[in-house]
Copies of this chain bind each other. A is one copy, B any other.
Amino acid sequence: MAEKVTIATVAQHARVSRQTVSNVINAPHIVRPETRQRVQDAIVTLGYRANQAARQMRTGRSRLIAVRIEPTRDGINGSVLDRFLHGLTETAEASGYRVMLYTAADDDREIATYGDLLSAYDLDGFVITGTDHGDPRTAWLAEREIPFVTFGRPWDHLQSHSWVDVDGAAGTAAATAHLIAAGHRRTGFIGWPAGSGVGDDRRAGWRRALVETSVDPTALDAETEDGIAEGARAARELLDRPAPPTALVCASDSLALGAMQTLRTAGADLPVIGFDDTPVAAAVGLSSVSQPLGDAAARCVDLLTDLLDGPRHGPRQVLLRPALVLRHPA
């Protein structure tokens, strides 16, 4: 094992003081180019790497950001997190940050974990996913002025903190417009009960697209909880109506998958478009609205590092457009 190389080793090797080495690293512009070069050479030669713990103790900053890894929800939608985490880690690395994971069974314990992570590890910031109306977590963080970004809009006060989200309405609108263009004026929708921000948003996009072509959406709308069985049931119910839809847009791939099952057993051949572009959709040839998760993760890191490193400007928001992925059932 090689000797431990510290800032002092580098200083000695480059015949300068510790502080000058530190300056080369943290404020290169105040060091004379000639000296800077000599120090940089020494750093490379010795393979020096700044010790984060020591830096952290002095500065109080850890260059660490925390993300919660959720106790795998229904599984079918869960795999979304994978891609998001990967994007997050990758972008964070590029900005000199690292990602730390944590879990929590509920909001209260999650908040307790914040305290722990902050005082024990000096965490710099948080990325929060799956926010709800009046989320206690964001309130807690905001109150203490701890930097954080949410992936998902706060549906109550849109401007109060930084967030990144995907424009679900634009996604369902695009899906609906695609079906209308293919001749399906009566495109139905299976979505979640009103009240969830995300669900309402996705329904709104579908509704908008229909209204734009002067079709009344009310008779083509089905509300149900998420799930394959629920989707199947809702599809059956829609087909039994007086003027059934000739195509379907769904708020999730789970619902869409259920709908496809109903259609197959009923021998009906309506096009269905899901939401989230999960692996399942790809596997069964289901068209779906795809969230740009890599981008979303990258923007989350950007907004967070903005809060951490950047000059003091208020919170920022980013709304990304999803893409429509068209497939043909096998």
Taking Cβ atoms with an 8 Å cutoff, the residues of A that contact B are 1, 49-54, 56-57, 62, 64, 69-72, 74-76, 78-79, 81-83, 85-86, 89-90, 93, 98-103, 115-116, 119-122, 144, 228, 254, 257, 261, 278-280, 282-284, 330
The copy count of this chain in the complex is: 2
A86 to B82, CA, bound (A): 11
Whether A279 and B122, one on each chain, are in contact in the complex, defined by CB atoms closer than 8 angstroms, is no
- For residue A18, give the distance in angstroms from its CB to the closest CB of chain B: 16
Whether B53 and A57, one on each chain, are in contact in the complex, defined by CB atoms closer than 8 angstroms, is yes
Whether B82 and A119, one on each chain, are in contact in the complex, defined by CB atoms closer than 8 angstroms, is no
Whether A89 and B76, one on each chain, are in contact in the complex, defined by CB atoms closer than 8 angstroms, is no
Q: A52-B120, A53-B56, A72-B83 are in contact. List 17 more A-B contacts (CB 8 A).
A: A49-B115, A50-B120, A51-B119, A51-B122, A53-B53, A53-B57, A53-B121, A69-B85, A72-B86, A79-B279, A81-B82, A89-B102, A98-B100, A98-B121, A100-B100, A280-B284, A283-B284
- In the complex, what residues of B have CB within 8 A of residue A121's CB? 52-53, 98
Whether B282 and A284, one on each chain, are in contact in the complex, defined by CB atoms closer than 8 angstroms, is no
Which of B74, B78, B82, B93 touches A72 (beta carbons < 8 Å)? B82
A72 to B82, CA, bound (A): 7
Whether B284 and A119, one on each chain, are in contact in the complex, defined by CB atoms closer than 8 angstroms, is no
Known: A81-B82, A121-B98, A283-B76. A69 touches B57 (CB 8 A): no
- In the complex, 16 of the A-B residue pairs with CB atoms within 8 angstroms, ordered by the A residue number, are A49-B115, A49-B119, A52-B120, A52-B121, A57-B57, A79-B279, A85-B85, A98-B102, A99-B101, A228-B283, A257-B283, A261-B330, A280-B280, A280-B283, A280-B284, A283-B284
Which 4 pairs show the lowest CB-CB distances between chains A and B?
A79-B79, A75-B279, A53-B56, A49-B119
